[in-house]
Amino acid sequence: MIAIGNTLVSEDLLKEKFVCDLQRCKGACCVAGDSGAPLEDEELPVLRDIYEKVKPYMSERGTRAVEDKGLYVKDFENENTTPLVAERECAFVFYENGVAGCAFEKAYLEGKTDFIKPLSCHLYPVRITKYKHYDAVNYHRWDICGAACELGKQRGIPVYRFAKDALIRKYGTEWFEQLCEAEKLLGERDS
């Protein structure tokens, strides 16, 4: 583990390779799992503010799920998450050429909002567990991401570099620069 500020970062973020390969996985992380996307408390009012701008990018089934369940629900761990359609896919998923996409991200890319997507989605495959005095920052391995691991190895891109923008969004540029320095030190140690 690497200590940076109030975080403990798994060395796996520096050692393991990862680059999403949507053409192969078809956006499976948005349609698999046992709950919706985890949401930060500060994201809840943002969802309320931007929903009408995001709604046109959603499927009819997704909008029905939001109308029936709300913009967010409590999951089995009592955490706020996005609602699911048919207890399977995130309500904010849409499909384009058979690939699942994010309605939040599409609205953002088209200049409709300033919110790219929930932080947990932006960070993936990085997962953060919050403890009283620190955050544990870990790499989440999931078999549906096998193609991403292969592509990451081909391109030589470590998990933390793939998640750079999201990690900076969460912890800031200075924190990320310290993580880059840690990678250099680990490389020196391991060589």
Domain ranges, ordered by start, for the chain: 1-18+125-191, 25-115
Tabulate helix, strand, coil % of the chain (nearest 5). Answer: 50, 20, 35
| pTM for the whole structure | 0.90
pLDDT band (50, 70, 90) for residue 132? very high
Say what the pLDDT of residue 154 is: 96
pLDDT digits (tens, 9 = 90+) for 13-35: 999 999 999 889 898 888 887 88
* 186, 11 Cβ separation under 8 angstroms: yes
Sort strands 7-9 and 135-139 into parallel, antiparallel or unpaired: parallel
pLDDT of 189 strictly over 80: no
pLDDT digits (tens, 9 = 90+) for 33-58: 788 999 999 999 999 999 999 999 99
